Amino acid sequence: MDAIPRSLRESPVHLFRASSLLGTAPYPSRDASLYKVRPGVYAARDAWNVLAPWDRYLARVHAFALVRADAVFSHESAASLLGLPTFGHPRNIHIFDTRRSRSVAYGDVTAHTSADARSVQRVGGIHLTTVEDLVVDLARVLPPAFGLAVADAALRDSSLSRDEVIDHAAAQRNTFRMKRVEWVLTRATPLSESAGESLSRAVIEWCGFPAPTLQMTHRLEGRTYRSDFSWPEQKVIGESDGWLKYGGDDPVAAAEAVRAEKRREDSFRRAGWRVARWDYAGALGADGLRAALAAAGLAPSRRADPAALASVGRNPRSR
């Protein structure tokens, strides 16, 4: 098994150290065109201002790596470098520090320790914990639906298997929130193609709906389609939509994608399927997903879990 990535995500904005500008005027801290990403590290303010929250976080991680070349990144920081979901703008930079006897937070940095031995990988000059440690660490501390999205993405984007991660967690002495870890890992699958699909799966379960079939293949009118979620006995299809699915910011590509999706959905309907659609916000809020499936005729098969549903869309570890 080799889950080491070939490359890490680069900083989404050019970063430079203040020391590189010594002897120039004005000094970076007095230059309104610059943004201080962290002490001693700057970026162009205009470039920083247009970054999405998760990209600002990635830039912060790279800025820390500039001033602490020996840092071993973990948790959300390692996830950001690996291109795994981070959900908003995490508050802290997370590193693993074997020199400490206990975990400690200082400024915007949390240094973690563990009773279990840790392996470290080095990619592109940056150190980080292994993917299996990252998945287990975040399954412990993130709201369960978010932990599931990280685990799904890790299985989808690496050579890890779910059983390998389950065995890795079981071998650890740390029993903190093991029920949450077990919930995440027993449901993790590489079949979820996006964070939205992962969150949707958790919400579907907590709303009390029957478990769906994932990525089912349908042969309709001479074409082959796949559905995000399907309930063949009820003839219901569930689709988790995202703007990138429809061409991002390319209007021409978006229009063609919408037309293709309309043709696809018409084929499903002519074959007797009822189609429910919801977007990322509909999954985060739960009500949009629940209403879409109910309108398509899917009925809950068990009682809903209001406490679990309340955890969706709220990540106390992000700003």
Nearest 10 degrees: CA dihedral of 28, 108, 102, 315? -150
- Give 194-203 pLDDT, tens digit per residue: 999 999 999 9
Instruction: Say whether pLDDT at 247 is over 80.
Output: no
Is the omega angle on the peptide bond into residue 26 within 30 degrees of 0, that is, cis? yes
Instruction: Say whether pLDDT at 145 is over 50.
Output: yes
- Give 205-240 pLDDT, tens digit per residue: 999 999 999 999 999 998 999 999 999 999 999 999
CA angle 311, 312, 317 (to 5 degrees): 70
pLDDT at 185: 98
Q: How far apart are CA 248 and CA 142, in angstroms?
A: 28
Mean pLDDT score of the chain: 91
Instruction: Say whether pLDDT at 3 is over 90.
Output: no
Q: What percent of the chain has pLDDT above 70?
A: 91
Q: Which residues contact 306 (CB under 8 A, 6 or more apart)?
A: none
Q: How far apart are CA 48 and CA 50, in angstroms?
A: 6
- Give 39-60 pLDDT, tens digit per residue: 999 999 999 999 999 999 999 9
Instruction: Say whether pLDDT at 4 is over 60.
Output: no
- Give 285-313 pLDDT, tens digit per residue: 999 999 999 999 999 999 999 999 999 98
Q: Which residues contact 79 (CB under 8 A, 6 or more apart)?
A: 85, 86, 134, 138, 150
Least Cα distance to 95 among 114, 86, 83 occurs for 114
**Is residue 180 within 8 Å of 139, Cβ to Cβ?**
yes
DSSP assignments along 6-21, one per residue = S--PPPSS--EEGGGG
Instruction: Say whether pLDDT at 274 is over 70.
Output: yes
Place of tokens 């590290």: 41
pTM: 0.91
pLDDT at 243: 45
Q: Where residue 251 falls among pLDDT bands split at 50, 70, 90?
A: low
Q: How far apart are CA 214 and CA 274, in angstroms?
A: 16
Instruction: Say whether pLDDT at 244 is over 70.
Output: no
The token pair that represents 235 in the structure block: 């003839």
Q: Which residues contact 302 (CB under 8 A, 6 or more apart)?
A: 208
* Mean pLDDT score, 126-132: 95
- Give 182-194 pLDDT, tens digit per residue: 999 999 999 999 9
pLDDT at 7: 80
Sign of CA dihedral 252, 257, 263, 265: negative
237, with CB counted inside 10 A (0-12, 13-18, 19+), is buried
